[in-house]
Amino acid sequence: MATKAVAVISNRDSMEEFLVLAREAGYEVCGIVYLRRFTRYGISEDKAREIRSLMERCGAESVIFDTQLKPRHLFNISKELGIEPKDRIEIILEIFKAHSPSKEADLQIKLASLQYELARARERVRIRRMGEQPGITSGLGEYEVDIYYNEIKRNIQSIKRKLMEERRRRDIHRMSREKKGFKTISITGYYSSGKTTLFNALTGAMCPVGPEPFTTLSTKFSTIWIGPWKCYLVDTIGFISDLPPFMIMAFYSTLEEIKFSDLVLLVIDVSEDYDVIKRKLVTSLDILKKLEYNGKIIAVGNKVDLLNNREDALKPIKSLIAEYIDDVVFTSSKYGWGIDELVDKIKSALGNIISIRVSLPYGDGVYEAIDFLKRFSNNVNPVYTDNGVTVECEIDEENLESIKNYIEKRGGNIIGHFNIKAISQDY
Ligand SMILES: Nc1nc2c(ncn2[C@@H]2O[C@H](COP(=O)(O)OP(=O)(O)OP(=O)(O)O)[C@@H](O)[C@H]2O)c(=O)[nH]1
Ligand SMILES: [Mg+2]
């Protein structure tokens, strides 16, 4: 059952986004009050009256703010309204709580909640002690307040320790992937932009997709071949604007791995308004910077199937994206449009593909050599002739030297190699 709420909006630009978040957190927004600015103590008496009367008129049980409230503001507004409002952070935390799919995500959410609780503990305690709100801290004295405060701190420490263990496990995984020559490609972007749908289109996997925000809460991955590269394709949690730093730390530590990617696909929902696309694009790039990712980015302008007059509609979006990112592909992940072009761009971004012809004499180690080649290529098809084995396959040019050394040590040779791009031009 949705809770009826009055939404207090101070940032009209991102109002739509906030209303989606509110709905997802279980609120039915039955009235909206616009707030131009906060006063020193919170909101003016007039504003409080306006909110109260709207609440009465539409039967709202709750008030939600689209910004983060300072503890003092929260305290005073609660007093003014006779009810404790929820702010943007709590709304997001509620969504995350409702969707948490993994142990690590659980821990992240708990940590973020506790850190937020800690920041506001003293104020909350004071509010509750005034008897206006029943709750776990009602009626506590100063001594108990300290205990409550310290307990939160202890809980935070214990969760941080558990998260460190999880992180160490992920580090070990990552290093073993790197040793095996995997390339890591991370699919990033705003929530609901179509990351998981793209992930599915690229992998053929079936992961849950949905119109509600944060369908993917923890990072999911799959291993696939793209050209001669074994890739570790990662589907990530959606970006969101205006996250306070402590939340970025908590939730986005699952995004830390992005830093180690060889390539980032930044998915952008191009069916949204130009201004929204721009804001989300800039925010996404900002988040990637905060995550210390400095590598290659391919922009994926997704959901083109929703555009009328596609060519015209895409023109301004193309120029906008070109201001920030060199490589862009337009797709409809839902219908599989543009996926082949994207795969070609991914290949160009990952390196230079060349085709080689290896010949090996029969003898000990020929199968080992074939297995060796399979580490560098997905299309190793040996042909057995009277004089030995020949294998034609595509590899990353970077690996040519080490393959050559290995093959020559086993009495074989590489009898020709050519650039794939040069061949396709000849045809
Ligand atoms: N029309 C259309 N809808 C799409 C396309 N790609 C994704 N969608 C829809 O957009 C919604 C969100 O897609 P998801 O793939 O779950 O998006 P996401 O970015 O993974 O979302 P989060 O995991 O919540 O961050 C779903 O309803 C998809 O069916 C597309 O190319 N065209
Ligand atoms: Mg997803």
Token pair listed for 410:
């086993």
Task: Report whether residue 195 contacts ligand 1, using a CB cutoff of 6 Å.
Answer: yes
Task: Report whether residue 282 contacts ligand 1, using a CB cutoff of 6 Å.
Answer: no
Last residue of some domain: 350, 372, 391?
A: 350
Q: How many CB atoms lie within 10 A of CB 244?
A: 16
Sheet holding 229-235, edge to edge: 220-226, 229-235, 183-189, 263-269, 296-302, 327-330
- Which ligand ends up closest to the CA of 240? 1
Please report whether residue 387 resides in a domain: yes
The confidence score (pLDDT) of residue 134 equals 44
Specify the residue for token string 């131009």: 36
Task: Report whether residue 306 contacts ligand 1, using a CB cutoff of 6 Å.
Answer: yes
Best residue for ligand 1 mutational test, from 209, 214, 302 (most atoms within 8 Å of Cβ): 209
Q: How far is CA 422 from CA 49, 353, 375, in A?
A: 73, 11, 24
Task: Spell out which residues have Cβ within 5 A of ligand 2, the ion.
Answer: 195-196, 215-216
The confidence score (pLDDT) of residue 277 equals 96
Q: For residue 234, what are the β-bridge partners?
A: 186, 221
Please report whether residue 169 resides in a domain: no
Shared domain check, 339 and 201: yes
Nearest CA-CA partner of 89 in 108, 119, 113, 120: 113
Task: Report whether residue 280 contacts ligand 1, using a CB cutoff of 6 Å.
Answer: no
CA of 215 to the centre of ligand 1 (A): 9
What DSSP letter does each residue of 329-362 carry, written as one string? EE-BTTTTBTHHHHHHHHHHHH--EEEEEEEE-S
Shared domain check, 190 and 79: no
- Contact by Cβ (8 Å): 258, 188: yes
Please report whether residue 174 resides in a domain: no
Shared domain check, 70 and 41: yes
Domain that holds residue 398: 353-426
Q: How far is CA 413 from CA 131, 356, 379, 400, 401, in A?
A: 85, 10, 19, 12, 12
Domain harbouring 245, CATH code: 3.40.50.300
The confidence score (pLDDT) of residue 211 equals 74
Domain harbouring 362, CATH code: 3.30.70.260
Please report whether residue 238 resides in a domain: yes
Q: How many CB atoms lie within 10 A of CB 421?
A: 11
Task: Report whether residue 67 contacts ligand 1, using a CB cutoff of 6 Å.
Answer: no
Shared domain check, 404 and 393: yes
Task: Report whether residue 188 contacts ligand 1, using a CB cutoff of 6 Å.
Answer: no
Please report whether residue 173 resides in a domain: no
Shared domain check, 368 and 292: no
CA of 267 to the centre of ligand 1 (A): 10
- Contact by Cβ (8 Å): 30, 21: no
Shared domain check, 185 and 327: yes
- List per-residue pLDDT tens for the chain, 427 residues long: 899 999 999 999 889 889 988 998 999 999 999 999 999 889 999 999 999 999 999 999 999 999 989 888 888 898 899 998 999 988 988 887 777 666 777 888 888 888 888 877 766 666 556 654 444 444 556 666 677 788 888 999 999 999 888 888 888 888 888 888 889 999 999 989 999 999 999 998 666 777 777 777 767 888 899 999 999 999 988 887 766 666 666 666 667 778 899 999 999 999 999 999 999 999 999 989 988 999 999 999 999 999 999 999 999 999 999 999 999 999 999 999 999 999 999 999 999 999 999 999 998 788 899 999 999 998 898 999 988 999 999 999 999 999 999 999 988 988 766 665 544 433 3
The confidence score (pLDDT) of residue 246 equals 63
Please report whether residue 140 resides in a domain: yes
Domain harbouring 40, CATH code: 3.40.50.11060
Shared domain check, 81 and 157: no
Task: Report whether residue 216 contacts ligand 1, using a CB cutoff of 6 Å.
Answer: yes
Last residue of some domain: 78, 98, 118?
A: 98
Shared domain check, 248 and 130: no
Please report whether residue 175 resides in a domain: no
Shared domain check, 259 and 390: no
CA of 377 to the centre of ligand 2 (A): 30
CA of 8 to the centre of ligand 2 (A): 29
Shared domain check, 399 and 256: no
Distance separating alpha carbons of residues 279 and 302, to the nearest angstrom: 16
pLDDT tens column, 274-325: 999 999 999 999 989 988 999 999 999 999 999 999 999 999 999 999 999 9
The confidence score (pLDDT) of residue 382 equals 93
Shared domain check, 322 and 190: yes
Mean pLDDT taken over the chain: 86
The confidence score (pLDDT) of residue 262 equals 95
Please report whether residue 110 resides in a domain: yes
Shared domain check, 201 and 70: no
The confidence score (pLDDT) of residue 147 equals 79
Residue 152 phi/psi, 5° resolution?
A: -60, -45
Task: Report whether residue 192 contacts ligand 1, using a CB cutoff of 6 Å.
Answer: yes
Last residue of some domain: 333, 350, 367?
A: 350
The structure's pTM equals 0.79
Best residue for ligand 1 mutational test, from 92, 187, 197 (most atoms within 8 Å of Cβ): 197
Best residue for ligand 1 mutational test, from 196, 243, 307 (most atoms within 8 Å of Cβ): 196
Domains held by the chain: number? 4
If you take atom 30 of ligand 1, which residue's CA is the nearest one? 303
Nearest CA-CA partner of 99 in 241, 215, 234: 215
Task: Report whether residue 207 contacts ligand 1, using a CB cutoff of 6 Å.
Answer: no
CA of 158 to the centre of ligand 2 (A): 29
Token pair listed for 307:
């555009």
